[in-house]
Structure 1
């Protein structure tokens, strides 16, 4: 029998028929089981080995997945210890008392520097996160020397004043 094109129907492929599914015992037919564990790529052994990647970032000293990335943040710098305020005040009082000895108010500031320096050393001993020992010692030594100088000048002044009477 011929169709509209003039071809025999027996020589034309039948497009309404599908190929038969492969037999279940064929070696390429494997049923899919979604619950089987993944065993890796069976063809991975055929790949050529690549050299290891270079290390782009150094290992983090912090454990855990939330370790800070040193390239994304500022480096951690520990803050210097705070300076004790009493030590600073002792040094300032003692140093301001140096010219004050000649202007008559050094007699008041020099002992204040000594007292503040002693209090500052006690606070520094009790507070390990504070510094300022050198300032406290400067206030104590300079204030003590100026106090002795003021006492000496006052004694000499009274001695000469009483001599003139």
Structure 2
């Protein structure tokens, strides 16, 4: 093997092992052009490439809900969605909810009902609650419990979270 082959082959293999894609993400009303490894999740693109750290990396397996965001208005666990799959779709994170100094009604209800302890799961809980209310699924405590079951709170603030969601939903 020539000296050129010794340097070119590893570079080609690296490119093959880490295919990059150009992605334009629409996040919180803005457009962001990124060149990413095709395997980068939406969560990692938001946190590591756009500096939006509201969505948390909890389990990185889609089981805890700490990374919940809205994708075209529907809640998703962003650790299981590839950023490249979000081309042309609208992503909304917890950072976009408040209007200036005015919190979103769900954020205000969470504060009123002390619906958090350590706060790690709170952004995901809030994003899930926003979608739950928009879906019209906050009719009872049992509904809220069922449709928020994908968002775990390790501190056990569930009664306060349900109260906050019901309050924000007007019930």
TM-score (norm 1): 0.24
Compare the two structures and name the one with the higher strand fraction.
2
Higher relative contact order (CA 8 A, sep 6+): 2
TM-score (norm 2): 0.24
Higher alpha-carbon Rg:
1
